[in-house]
Amino acid sequence: MKITLIGGSGFVGTRLIDLLQYDYQLKNIDKRQSHFFPDITVIGDVRDKDKMTELLKGTELVVLLAAEHRDDVSPVSLYYDVNVGGMRNVLAAMETNGIRRIVFTSSVAVYGLNKKNPDEEHPKDPFNHYGKSKWQAEQVLQEWHEGHPDWNVNILRPTVIFGERNRGNVYNLLRQISSGKFLMVGNGENKKSMAYVGNIVAFIRFLIEQKTSGYNVYNYIDKPDMSMNELVGHVSKVLRKHIPATHFPYWLGMLGGYGFDFLAWVSRKKLTISSVRVKKFCATTQFSAKKVQESGFNAPFTLGEGLARTLEFEFVHPRTDDITFKTE
């Protein structure tokens, strides 16, 4: 089968290509060259419908990974140009080329913050432009499917993804914890849903091979969830070091976040700490994974194993290169 990844030069796409490369004929379309798979990568942008139409010729299935996802994208219209407009362009290009299968990576951000274990049918209440644009992209895809009921649509809503080479919020958190200079905002009992990249790409392969008809939507979370206190304890165990955690009240943490917002505004620089990130850190982010658990999919790694593999790669074994991927 001929599969085209759109946005496959990034973190998830690179791991997915590595998993699929020996069993499928792959092409990667991305606005950036791939570090590891330049031979199958062509340069293209989802905002260019004509280019998408040209590059998707001969494809049988599309995996749409391309997205604007960082907290600090400017201007904010880029979220909608890429995530929503890009979806429309890809669907139009697929129709022109007679392609009837798509796997789309959305996000649990469509549910919003501090929701009680939402499943796939939970009301959507995104709190930021990333979540809003992802939900709008899903709505475009849902409406399209109503007019193309013979198409196979698989939507994956992962929680925050982590893994080797990733430079996002989970990496920053693990680095802070492992440094021994970690400041815990709140009581640490808030639980965090996470997903290891090795399991995410395995589930995408499962969708490609097992969910070949209909319109299917899945949250993806590696269970059971860990609280922040449990995460600190796990890092301590893997790295075999005592890691003290100083607790600060939520109001003080948010005050500091607003201070960093002001510094970022004055300096016109993107800083690693912000009020949005403090808010996300202190939020309980648990999501239901019951549908995945009942689908027949077996994750190749536990959450603890994924964290251990990441910690050992990043903080224990010597690095042989400096290739990393920046996400949230």
Query: What is the rounded CA–CA span in Å between residue 93 and residue 148?
Result: 14
Query: What is the rounded CA–CA span in Å between residue 79 and residue 69?
Result: 7
Query: What is the rounded CA–CA span in Å between residue 218 and residue 106?
Result: 10
Cis amide prior to 224 (ω within 30 degrees): yes
Relative to beta strand 222-227, strand 191-196 is: antiparallel
Query: What is the rounded CA–CA span in Å between residue 119 and residue 293?
Result: 12
First to last CA, the chain: 32
Give phi and psi for 49, each to the nearest 5. Answer: -65, -40
220 is catalytic: no
* Residue pair 298/137 in contact by the 8 Å Cβ criterion: no
Q: What is the CA radius of gyration of the chain?
A: 20
Query: What is the rounded CA–CA span in Å between residue 153 and residue 214?
Result: 6
> At which residue do the structure tokens 């994956």 appear?
156
Q: Amino acid identity, residue 12? A: V
Query: In this structure, what token pair is assigned to residue 176?
Result: 């802070």
DSSP 31: S
Cis amide prior to 244 (ω within 30 degrees): no
Catalytic position from the list 79, 111, 130, 220: 130
Residue 142: CB atoms within 10 Å: 13
* Residue pair 87/130 in contact by the 8 Å Cβ criterion: no
Enzyme catalytic residues:
130
